Amino acid sequence: MGHKTLVTFIAASLALAASSQALAYGAGDLYTRIGVAKVSPKSDNGTLDTALGELGVDVRDKSDFAFTLGYRFTDKLGVELLAALPFEHDIRLNDANIASTKHLPPTLTLQYYPLGGTLSRVQPYLGAGVNYTRFSSEQVDIDGVGLELDDSWGVAGQLGVDLVIDEHWALNAAAWYLDIDSDATVAGESAGRVEIDPVVVMAGLSYRF
């Protein structure tokens, strides 16, 4: 192998090694994931006991912009915060679409990356943590009848995958299960519990800083 060929080979090898290290997901990565999320509450969200009689509750699906912020403190372990714009859900009471609410669902998960620290372009992960949901702007289309939903704390589970494009960008898909239960007040009186317990599915892009 000639001198020039050897120099070229070494330079190419160093460039490839640097590129590979950049592609490796691991300790110290700071990232954000941005996309569109769909919040799909479970069916049969409970029954409210009110002066108007028993009202079956059906919280409808909603899609909106969402994002996450995350950090990897080892090759395989990290932490991520899910945030979003307020989601506004229509609520059917006895099959009539006459109520609505907004909510913010910040969710913090501890994540495990089984292929962390490797050069794999497919990087699956799973997580577990806690969700806090704040309800606001509850409305009912009945004169003189108000609805209030208490804020909720619950567990959260997560599955996701990054498909690495280059050292900064990746395609991302993720899903969360959120335990969201809220005590409801109708016309100033305790009316029972609304069990929302949604699955949240998000698709978008991941960016590593």
pTM over 0.85: no
Interval 130-141 mean pLDDT: 93
Q: Which domain holds residue 180?
A: 3-208
Residue 175, exposed/middle/buried by CB under 10 A (0-12, 13-18, 19+)? middle
Per the structure, the count of domains in the chain is 1
Share above pLDDT 70 across residues of the chain, in percent, rounded to a whole number? 89
What is the CATH number for 79?
2.40.160.20
Q: What is the pLDDT of residues 140-199, one digit of tens each?
A: 887 777 889 999 999 999 999 999 999 899 999 999 999 999 999 988 888 889 999 999
